[in-house]
Amino acid sequence: MFEKIYILWLRQLKRYWRSKPRVIGSLGQPLLFLLALGYGMGAVFQQAGKGDYLDFLAPGIIGMSIIFTAIFSGIEIIWDRQFGFLKEVLVAPMSRLEIMIGHTLGGATVAFLQGVVVLLLSIAVGFGPIGWIEIFPALGIMFLTALLFAGFGVAVASRLNDMQGFQLIMNFLIMPLFFLSGALFPLEGAPKMLLAIAAIDPLSYGVDALRGLLTGSYYYGLPLDIAALAGAASLAVAAGSYLFSKIQI
Amino acid sequence: MAIIEVKNLTKKFGDFLAVDNISFQVRQGEFFAFLGPNGAGKSTTIKMMTTILKPTSGSIVISGHDAIGDSDRARQSFGIVFQDQSLDDELTAWENMDFHGVLYDIPSVIRGGRVKQLLEFVELWDRRDDLVKKFSGGMKRRLEIARGLMHHPKVFFLDEPTLGLDAQTRQHMWSYLKNLNRTEGTTVFLTTHYIEEAEQIAQRVAVIDRGKIAAIGTVEELRQETGTDSLEKAFLKLTGSHIREESAGDFAARRMRLFHGSKKN
Ligand SMILES: Nc1ncnc2c1ncn2[C@@H]1O[C@H](COP(=O)(O)OP(=O)(O)O)[C@@H](O)[C@H]1O
Ligand SMILES: [Mg+2]
């Protein structure tokens, strides 16, 4: 049983690594955000008395790369369906749950590794975490966030038949989740409306936990962050498993 | 003893009846063919039997397991070669084979040897480390066959297995299956729209058209039943239509549909 989950997991990693445009794109985009926003907005941010913007931004960009990669990996099920490979997996002597677990763990691992690379990248361009020890719990938060959105991607992909749905997901789900999460701006002093939306966006808690651990400033606080992330991740994986078990060709 | 038992199986897509209340049995160790024109409902029936499509109504029992209610168990007993592609393009030929071997519980001590044997058998051993996306259509088809034959299930489902397959691999495949049938009592359920293939390979044939089984029996029985002297004439009499050959054009058309996002067949 574990061997089957392992080989499904490994497949996700291989596919990611072999798709060089995807690897380069998913590193280029965070780098662009870090440089353009981090340096571009730095002066304004500083004048507003909020400190160093790059330090503020880096955890948000790590969160961004995790959510994009994780949802995208989950959604790869649509590709598998279109190119026929999903059939091969669905007729094999294993349960739908095992397939879902293998696929989700694979996607989460890819997104997690992506987050690690972006963390290193942001350190390279000037981000300074407050301490090295805090990086370890931060890695845990990164994996939990990755798991959450990979499960979410599987749930969504199980309900979609073709690529057209993917554009909708990108524009009406991933983008809002990212922009409304407090990844780019501080939630302190934000309008009530925005706060209410951020409060139901699970990425807010992932970013807040990362920011707290790496720079020392929390908005929600670590216990609430972990509780919200764990709750949302369980929900996403459960929904993904259920919807995936209903999949038909 | 029946290893496949299908009763009153029906599948509707919206208002369209793709499979219309069919019932049949396949005996253990039998070569059984579904013969019918394109769109008859062959693939739809196979998808339901292999647990990837839910029937509208009816029952399917495979090797004693309910394929609808207990699909996890039913999947333990069969293997399938699909009509259209089911390979992972981003993996190599070897990786596709190995992946299959793991999913089908082939112990690692024999997995490697069997991958080699079958890749040699379809003349792809030299290309084992190439990504499948670099393969031609014919090579992909051969790889599908090799992969499908890797494990030794009780029942093989083959959906138009010889479509797009060269004559040599076709011969190889049938003799491999006959050998498995002899040594392990493997049952083979195939679909085809080639009359000669049904005639040569199958012990019993079900003629299927517009979702219904028009007749079922040995080739001899079908001839007698229709008072004709060949399966072709029997087929014509039963369905009133010539079998439309699937041309390269149809294949391309299906590909096009795929990429334009409409529902798959
Ligand atoms: N997912 C689907 N949605 C709607 N119609 C479908 C679907 N799958 C198959 N059909 C239709 O059902 C009929 C039977 O298809 P199929 O089983 O693929 O035929 P065969 O394999 O005998 O050529 C065809 O008319 C086909 O267009
Ligand atoms: Mg078909």
B192 lines ligand 1 (CB under 6 A): no
Query: Cα(B129)–Cα(B95) distance, rounded to whole angstroms?
Result: 8
Query: Cα(B81)–Cα(A150) distance, rounded to whole angstroms?
Result: 30
CB-neighbour burial class of residue A142 (10 A; exposed 0-12, middle 13-18, buried 19+): buried
Angle in degrees, CA A189, A194, A198, rounded to 5: 100
| pLDDT value of position A51 | 85
Closest-CA residue of chain A to B47:
A249
Contact B22, A61 (CB under 8 A): no
Q: Phi/psi of residue A8, each to 5°?
A: -65, -40
Closest-CA residue of chain A to B102:
A4
Taking all residues of chain A, what is their mean pLDDT, rounded to a whole number?
94
Q: Phi/psi of residue A206, each to 5°?
A: -65, -45
Residue-level length of chain B: 265
Question: Is the pLDDT confidence value at B261 over 80?
Answer: no
| pLDDT value of position A167 | 81
Partners of B26 in the beta sheet? B4
Helices (H), B85-164: 93-103, 108-121, 137-148
Sign of the torsion angle spanned by Cα atoms A192, A193, A198, A200: positive
Question: Is the pLDDT confidence value at B247 over 70?
Answer: no
| pLDDT value of position B260 | 40
Query: Cα(A120)–Cα(A132) distance, rounded to whole angstroms?
Result: 12
Tell me whether strands B57-62 and B16-27 are parallel, antiparallel or unpaired: unpaired
Query: Cα(B204)–Cα(B200) distance, rounded to whole angstroms?
Result: 10
Among A21-35, A170-184, B251-265, the least confident range: B251-265
Residue A95 forms contact with B (CB below 8 Å) = yes
Nearest by CB: A91 against B52, B102, B263: B52
What's the whole-number mean pLDDT along residues A8-22?
93
> Could you report the per-residue pLDDT of A69-114, keeping only the tens digit for each?
999 998 899 999 999 999 999 999 999 999 999 999 999 999 999 9
| pLDDT value of position B76 | 93
> Could you report the per-residue pLDDT of B146-194, keeping only the tens digit for each?
999 999 999 999 999 998 899 999 999 999 999 999 999 999 999 999 9
Contact A30, A65 (CB under 8 A): yes
Which tokens go with B210? 């517009």
Contact A247, A158 (CB under 8 A): yes
Query: Cα(B129)–Cα(A184) distance, rounded to whole angstroms?
Result: 44
Partners of B189 in the beta sheet? B32, B157
Query: Cα(B242)–Cα(B235) distance, rounded to whole angstroms?
Result: 8
What's the whole-number mean pLDDT along residues B214-238?
88
Q: Whose CA is nearest to atom 24 of ligand 1?
A: B39
Question: Is the pLDDT confidence value at A196 over 60?
Answer: yes
Taking all residues of chain B, what is their mean pLDDT, rounded to a whole number?
90
CA-based nearest distance B227→chain A, Å:
40
Query: Cα(A21)–Cα(A110) distance, rounded to whole angstroms?
Result: 15
Q: What is the CATH number of domain B2-77+153-264?
A: 3.40.50.300
Query: Cα(A128)–Cα(A223) distance, rounded to whole angstroms?
Result: 24
- Please name which of B181, B179, B187, B193 lies closest in space to residue B242, comparing C-alpha atoms: B193
Query: Cα(A25)–Cα(A3) distance, rounded to whole angstroms?
Result: 31
Question: By residue range, what is the domain housing residue A44?
Answer: 2-245
Query: Cα(A105)–Cα(A143) distance, rounded to whole angstroms?
Result: 10
| pLDDT value of position B264 | 38
B265 lines ligand 1 (CB under 6 A): yes
Residues 4-63, chain A, touching B (beta carbon < 8 A): 4, 7, 11, 14-15, 18-19
- Please name which of B74, B43, B72, B44 lies closest in space to residue B56, comparing C-alpha atoms: B44
How many other C-beta atoms can be found within 10 angstroms of the C-beta atom of residue A11? 23
A180-189 — which CB contacts under 8 Å span 24+ positions?
Answer: A180/A204, A181/A60, A181/A63, A181/A206, A181/A207, A182/A60, A182/A207, A182/A208, A182/A219, A183/A57, A183/A59, A183/A60, A183/A61, A183/A63, A183/A64, A183/A207, A184/A37, A184/A57, A184/A60, A186/A50, A186/A56, A186/A219, A187/A219, A188/A219
Where in chain B are the domains? 2-77+153-264
| pLDDT value of position B243 | 54
Preferred mutation among B12, B13, B49, B52 to probe A, highest tally of A CBs within 10 A: B52
Quote the DSSP letter at residue B130. S
CB-neighbour burial class of residue A240 (10 A; exposed 0-12, middle 13-18, buried 19+): buried
Rg (CA), chain B: 18
Tell me whether strands B204-209 and B212-217 are parallel, antiparallel or unpaired: antiparallel
Contacts of A163 in chain B (CB under 8 A): 261
Which tokens go with A62? 């790590």
